Amino acid sequence: MRVLVIGSGGRESAIAWACEQHGHTVTVANDLGDVTADDIDLVIPGPESALVAGVADECAFRKIPCFGPTSKQARIESSKGYSRHLATSLGVPGPTYERFEENDEAGALTWWREFGRPVVVKLDGLAAGKGVIVPKGDADTEAAIRSTAILGPFVLEEQLYGPECSLLALCDGTAAIALPLAQDHKRIGEGDTGPNTGGMGAFAPAPVPYDADVLLHTFVQPIIDYFASTGAPYVGVLYAGLMLTADGPRLIEYNCRFGDPETQAVLPLLESDLAELALACTMGSVDGPALKIREGAACTVVAASPGYPGDPHTGALISLHGFSTTEWANASSVVPEAILFPSGVADGKTAGGRVLAVTGLGDDLAAARSAAYRAMDGVKFTNMQVRRDIGWRAPGALLTSYASTGVDIDEGNRAVERMKGSVERTLGPDVLRGVGSFGGVMSARRILELADPVLVASADGVGTKVELAARLGKVRGVGNDIVNHCIDDVLVQSARPLFFLDYIAASTLDADLVAEVVTGMAEACEAAGCVLLGGETAEMPGVYAPGAFDVAGTLVGIAERGELLPRDDVAAGDVLLGVASSGPHTNGFSFLRKLFDWVPMDVTPPGFDVTLGDALLEPHRSYLNVLDGALASGKVKALAHITGGGLPENLPRVLPDGVDAEIELGSWPRGPLFELIAELATGVDVHELHRMLNMGIGMVVVVAPGDVDAVQAAIPEDTWRIGALVRSQPGSRTVHLL
């Protein structure tokens, strides 16, 4: 066929490329010009502006098949108020909204204040994907309303929460077929920070727990049926931008054309002939040609000019290494799995905000992403903007459990049970508690300062947190981690620390690294009034990867036997007080490293006061001084240190037979890091998430109901009532998350 693609951006480059793969002759132009039905077999408009201007209407007048809706139908994108009204009237799930005329800031402010919930502020008309403000807090919302009201009619919409996905449907007027679901990255900065853009990258298929055909039925078919009922069938692409909220998918917006840059990610996955499918739609038979999608995934990365999305600076010479540039529209890469799609390019120089995109293909998203970034490494121009984290939310959506990261908590528990017998054969009569407790407890009658002293010991490590610390060059904190973890493990039995022994192993020892880690240990010991002994090191090439190291240690403490925790009177009705953690502490890092694998650690996400790397590496806190007053009051019945296994597996250690714990989720502030983790890990259920991570609670204090106020007053920081103990069946010690 002879195909005319209207438009000149990256999306149009991808449409032209897709048609050319099947032998069609493609012309790319900004308008119809003088073409007639004798010159062109099919027109595929790219940008919404052309459709709003009536290119499909003109094609109908010239009797040229056009894969695009009429200008009247294109209002579904050109007017957000019209689009939202139409969708709501047809029962399409979406946010509460209201439309306002230009300069009606007073009406908008009144509506928002009465609405009483966060809103999104959107210009009613076309804004190249940038007319949307998602304000943070009341002051930002008021400013957004005032600044938008002077630009034209606008819409306020209820702010929804959840991952987004893009549904692109090919429509023939009565039916539609869905292309692979995509997910784009609107904001300019890594970690989804900074202002909105037209899109800095995309990937497909998006890992969402919904079938595309189900979404098609809910969000696309009602629109097709409506226009069919008016006698003007909708032909072309209908793009539904969706948010996957806790209450199910909700409509964010409709577009009347292919998305940009979603098109660059989706069309390379299409094995079918795009031109044949588009022509079939113009004839009302989209189900005619077979829809074939290639296995694997695609990832698109956009290179943008400096100043974009505000005032882009153009005219910079583009240098391409590893690309054949005889024809920009078909430049090939030395990375065979990558495709170059030019957008804002003229005479080899930058000529727009978004300059070009590179799409990588692979058997999975990781391979496709790698191919895209390897090819993008060959693209250079002055002050080029490229997000380094395209697809960064996908790992969280793909993870379903801790075991999926290579760490099996259940297998670890089985190992403890298997070793119990062997360990117990070595125990003498003075050992009161051993394997399975927070630390070993041994009589220490020779320490005469106490009436009946016992020694309490704990040995532990820092886990895979050391990998992140080594990678970021911030290792002093792991010295704090190992000491404080062990302090807390003996504190739960009411013991105070006496001395600590350390052990550091690496592939090749680095004296500076060792000194830095030991300095961190010394700081923690000094704060706890504990002596640091030892200094054992090991150099083990071949066992540890180059640059990797490990830290372990043993702490010995002392306690009065009569004051050991947990007490024998822990019972149903007791209250659980939560004391805040300082972060993930030393557990869950195999999961966290995978979760944040594709986002730079120097990014400061929205709501954070520090970088993501610093938030993750925040040292494990010691609760010794925090709980000293509460322990001295004699009103604490038990303490549970929330380490590996989280609340579900640490609280049972201090519960008597036939007593369960009920934890009220949401009863404590999780903080920005754990809120982000929960937002990203959409495939992990609540129980599994709280089994992997402490989720903001590092220590639980068990007290009688009448002693709650006194114990909270004795703790010099905020604590929260997070639950209570309840009677259960004999043999049960279960934690229920409510």
Buried b (16+ CB within 10 A) or exposed e, 156-182: bbeebebbbbbbbbbbbbbbbbbbbbb
Average pLDDT over residues 4-11: 95
Amino acid 94: pLDDT: 96
Provide, rounded to the nearest whole percent, the portion of the chain with pLDDT above 90. Answer: 74
With a CB cutoff of 8 Å and minimum separation 6, the contacts of 426 are none
Residue 7 is assigned to a structural domain of this protein: yes
Last residue in a domain, options 531, 564, 597: 564
Residue 319 is assigned to a structural domain of this protein: no
The 3 state secondary structure assigned to 239-308 is EEEEEEECCEEEEEEEECCCCCCHHHHHHHHECCCHHHHHHHHHCCCCCCCCCCECCCEEEEEEEECCCC
Last residue in a domain, options 564, 585, 600: 564
Check whether 167 has a pLDDT greater than 50: yes
Q: What is the CATH number of the domain that holds 472?
A: 3.30.1330.10
Average pLDDT over residues 542-568: 89
d(CA 108, CA 703): 50
Q: What is the CATH number of the domain that holds 663?
A: 3.90.650.10
375 and 368 Cβ atoms separated by less than 8 Å: no
- Could you tell me the pLDDT band of residue 517, with boundaries at 50, 70 and 90? confident
Amino acid 407: pLDDT: 56
Average pLDDT over residues 664-682: 93
Are residues 679 and 719 part of one domain?
A: yes
Alpha carbons within 13 A on the beta-carbon side of 115: 20
Are residues 641 and 617 part of one domain?
A: yes
Average pLDDT over residues 552-581: 93
Are residues 653 and 588 part of one domain?
A: yes
In this predicted model, which residue has the larger pLDDT, 446 or 396? Answer: 396
d(CA 70, CA 51): 7
Put residue 534 in one of left, alpha, beta given phi > 0 → left and psi -120 to 50 → alpha: left
Mean pLDDT of the chain: 90
Residue 165 is assigned to a structural domain of this protein: no
116 and 158 Cβ atoms separated by less than 8 Å: no
d(CA 567, CA 317): 74
Amino acid 738: pLDDT: 92
Amino acid 153: pLDDT: 94
Report residue 257 as tokens. Answer: 């054309």
Last residue in a domain, options 548, 564, 580: 564
Amino acid 229: pLDDT: 96
Check whether 620 has a pLDDT greater than 50: yes
Amino acid 423: pLDDT: 39
Average pLDDT over residues 260-268: 96
Check whether 694 has a pLDDT greater than 90: yes
- Could you tell me the pLDDT band of residue 415, with boundaries at 50, 70 and 90? very low
Q: Lowest-pLDDT range, 159-173, 514-528, 713-727?
A: 514-528
Domain that holds residue 50: 2-62
Q: Report the domain count for the chain.
A: 4
**Which tens digits make up the pLDDT trace of 368-384?**
999 999 999 999 999 99
Amino acid 435: pLDDT: 47
**Which tens digits make up the pLDDT trace of 550-561?**
999 999 999 998
Are residues 575 and 547 part of one domain?
A: no
Are residues 510 and 622 part of one domain?
A: no
**Which tens digits make up the pLDDT trace of 441-493?**
646 555 777 888 888 999 999 989 999 999 999 999 999 999 999 999 999 99
- Could you tell me the pLDDT band of residue 500, with boundaries at 50, 70 and 90? confident
6 and 44 Cβ atoms separated by less than 8 Å: yes
Provide, rounded to the nearest whole percent, the portion of the chain with pLDDT above 70. Answer: 92
Report residue 44 as tokens. Answer: 């595929």
Average pLDDT over residues 117-143: 87
In this predicted model, which residue has the larger pLDDT, 330 or 696? Answer: 696
In this predicted model, which residue has the larger pLDDT, 437 or 16? Answer: 16
Residue 31 is assigned to a structural domain of this protein: yes
Are residues 445 and 545 part of one domain?
A: yes
- What pTM was computed for the model? 0.84
Q: What is the CATH number of the domain that holds 119?
A: 3.30.1490.20
Amino acid 328: pLDDT: 59
Residue 68 is assigned to a structural domain of this protein: no
Are residues 439 and 555 part of one domain?
A: yes
Are residues 108 and 138 part of one domain?
A: yes
Check whether 713 has a pLDDT greater than 50: yes
d(CA 348, CA 679): 41
Q: Lowest-pLDDT range, 177-181, 273-277, 391-395, 435-439?
A: 435-439
Q: Lowest-pLDDT range, 80-84, 258-262, 515-519?
A: 515-519
Residue 184 is assigned to a structural domain of this protein: no
Residue 486 is assigned to a structural domain of this protein: yes
Residue 436 is assigned to a structural domain of this protein: yes
Give the DSSP H or E segment for 577.
Answer: strand 575-580
Are residues 707 and 608 part of one domain?
A: yes
Beta-bridge partners for 178:
169
Report residue 485 as tokens. Answer: 């973890």
Are residues 619 and 730 part of one domain?
A: yes
- Could you tell me the pLDDT band of residue 331, with boundaries at 50, 70 and 90? low
Amino acid 130: pLDDT: 63
Q: Lowest-pLDDT range, 537-551, 558-572, 600-614?
A: 537-551
Report residue 178 as tokens. Answer: 């869905």
Amino acid 414: pLDDT: 55
Are residues 488 and 630 part of one domain?
A: no
d(CA 370, CA 567): 55
In this predicted model, which residue has the larger pLDDT, 520 or 414? Answer: 520
**Which tens digits make up the pLDDT trace of 293-322?**
999 999 999 999 999 999 999 999 999 887
Average pLDDT over residues 589-612: 93
Are residues 734 and 617 part of one domain?
A: yes
